[in-house]
Amino acid sequence: MVEESDMSAVVRILPSGHQFVVEVNEPLLQAALRSGVALEFGCANGTCGECKARVKEGEVRQIRFYDYVMSEAERRDHTVLLCSCTADADVTIEATEAGGPDDIPLQNVRARLYKREHPAEAVEIVYLRVMRGRMLRFLAGQRVSLKLGGMEPTDMPIASCPCDGSNLELHFDLSNSGGLNARALAGFAKSDRFEIEGPRGRFTLDESSGRPLVFIACDTAIAPSKSIIEHAINLDYSQPIYLHWHTNQRDGPYLHNYFRSLTDALDGFHYLPIRGPVSADTLNALPDLATVDVYLTGGEEFVAAAQETLFARGLSEGRLFIDAFNERPSSAPIAD
């Protein structure tokens, strides 16, 4: 153990070499997630032991009680729980990270409503808090199956980033009368208890690419793109990020002020609201499509038309990532 310090520390992870900064008295797991590092964890409260790591260099300090019983062999091997320890000076740990969607287990959690917003006539933003001190482990861009009472489950992309798996943001399209969208139109109640199964989906950031990121989304299909954008920002992604948000809504893009604020705060972030479909003219605001990765979300018709235009303008087929979820029936099974 070391004495408490008033300075942040740098944590290096083996074998990946990823690094993140931990603030004073901040749990190592929380600091890693905040920085976009997808460390393995389960309960995040010291019970399951899935966030175990080995300290290779330096020392850590326990700041939270935990129930998990560490074996003598683990103690001799300098094994710690990342959810229960912090670092007061630079440290190197050996820990497991998710390399992709296949490394994220399917989970079942319950959640309750803690806030809702109505930013546009046809949009309801719902914020859910996972119950019993648990967290949902997911990758930015993934989705979940959301169920309320005896209603059919609805496939929903998560709009928030994985840095906080306790609080989930979901965007409901009130013009869609299927599943929970209809209930969202009537209004959720504080007493509602949601069942969440997930995550699923492969619409996730290719962190190994290093190419400029282009996001093209239509209406509430902005949700998974928002999650990935926030994740890339947490990663301090060095390449430019472009967002083209297309809308057919009378109110326009319902998070316009939020993305304008990112444009003002970040040198490499470029946001363009567009009314109508993707066209050769709208793509003129982007760099050479042969040099970028494009993340495309929307209804099937929007995606099909945009895909044709993108390829005609030189985008490589292998650099297009698609989630055409908006027109999927609400009760349809979710494909991986």
pLDDT in tens, 70-84: 999 999 999 999 999
Q: What is the pLDDT of residue 325?
A: 65
Q: What is the pLDDT of residue 133?
A: 77
Q: Identify which of 128-132, 309-313, 331-335 has the greatest average pLDDT.
A: 309-313
Q: Where are the domain boundaries for CATH 3.10.20.30 in the chain?
A: 9-97
Q: What is the pLDDT of residue 5?
A: 55
Ramachandran angles phi, psi of 229, nearest 5°:
-60, -45
Give the tens place of pLDDT for each residue, 192-222.
999 999 999 999 999 999 999 999 999 999 9
Give the tens place of pLDDT for each residue, 264-303.
999 999 999 999 999 999 999 999 999 999 999 999 999 9
Residue 43 confidence class, pLDDT cut points 50, 70, 90:
confident
Domain 213-323 in CATH 3.40.50.80? yes
- Token pair of 204, please? 């996730």
Pairing of strands 293-297, 213-218: parallel
8-12, 30-34, 145-149, 187-191: least confident range = 187-191
The rounded distance, in Å, linking the Cα atoms of 109 and 261 is 33
Pairing of strands 123-130, 143-148: unpaired
Q: Establish how many alpha carbons lie within 13 A of residue 144's alpha carbon, considering only the half-sphere containing its beta carbon.
A: 32
Gyration radius of the chain over CA positions: 21
Burial label for 96, CB within 10 Å (0-12, 13-18, 19+), is middle
How crowded is residue 10: how many other Cβ atoms within 10 Å of its Cβ? 14
**What does the pLDDT average to over 302-312?**
96
SS3 at position 60 = coil
Q: What is the pLDDT of residue 270?
A: 98
Q: What is the pTM of this model?
A: 0.90
Q: Where are the domain boundaries for CATH 3.40.50.80 in the chain?
A: 213-323
Among 164, 282, 316, 328, residue whose Cα is nearest residue 231: 164
CATH superfamily of 9-97: Beta-grasp domain (3.10.20.30)
Helices (H), the chain: 28-34, 72-76, 179-186, 222-234, 256-265, 280-283, 300-312
Class of domain 102-200: mainly beta
Among 269, 268, 225, residue whose Cα is nearest residue 246: 225
The conformation of residue 28, written as its DSSP 8-state character, comes to H
Burial label for 250, CB within 10 Å (0-12, 13-18, 19+), is exposed
